[in-house]
Chains A and B, each alone.
Chain A
């Protein structure tokens, strides 16, 4: 069933969009990532103009994250206090990020920078997670108990706050810093930032994997909502028809994903997410290094 999208000005298959939304929703529920890093390139691939894809992707992420967070709230795996701290940092970071983005746009190499950002961050994070996940998995198989968390320098900083759900008593500064830097990156890369947020929470803040996903989703809702509004007001590029189809597929996908996520072990979950992140990274890297089939690209507007 073909459907004409009013803002994107293209006609696409409605079931294809529902399916895309569903896949991204499952990922979102399983891993606590918004799925933007996957959804946005997929939308490019089916012919949605990039500006519309980025803006509408943000809107879809809001819906699937809400659906996911509600499921996590019921299981009490959302650290609301930590989420709020990260969010406040994130909004500040997003503002800074948009400014950086616009400055780079004037220089004309923003596409390259965004792709390079993706390759570097996805590569580092995916690699780290894969190594960690693999180690943990082989340890549990051999019946060795995971080592106790060691105290890092971060835990000695001032302004300590108790984050009960996470079982942490740490300084408020590192979460704010994490929020700001993820905010900057997510504005520049046009995604919710979950795939950076999740590992940052695990490795930098030492949060338990169980609460990380719900908390990340909670934070993503607001960052994505902020991004959606910003795009709608400044660029008029949110396509509500496209969003609705992606959302319909996505919200049910997210419920399904949360179920799958609870059945898997944390280590397996981490390893799965790592391979996914690495796969997207590889695809983007290949596009950068392999000769393209068409060396010319049409861009809208004047240079």
Chain B
């Protein structure tokens, strides 16, 4: 298995503002943390310091590839077997623009979708989540609870737990 197994502490929050406050403090303290939420919320995004995704760059690469093939492939086939039609050009840019546009959208769209899951998977390898039965049984992060997971050593756990308790954490679990 890639990456280190999880060591740290995790808490379950009922309220979004409380979870966001904890996240903002963890960020200030430079802790290694992850956040779980049932839907994307800008409050959490702001608390995390508005990190960026590399998706737009990958979309540009895939879309550019599509555009290249969309013009390149029809042009090559037109030159491979020349079919003269009156005075019309063999390589017809207006006609091939449609193919170029469609392939740009096709490769760009599919590449973007694959990138969403590939980057999410890579992040999960880098920032490991707890693997305990207790964590797996906690199935409300897709429902109505917010989770804050902190990767830390046993000595730091007490301070993190106390901070979580200050912010009305519903449940705290240490895993070492």
Partners in one complex: no
Residues of B whose CB lies within 8 Å of any CB of A are: none
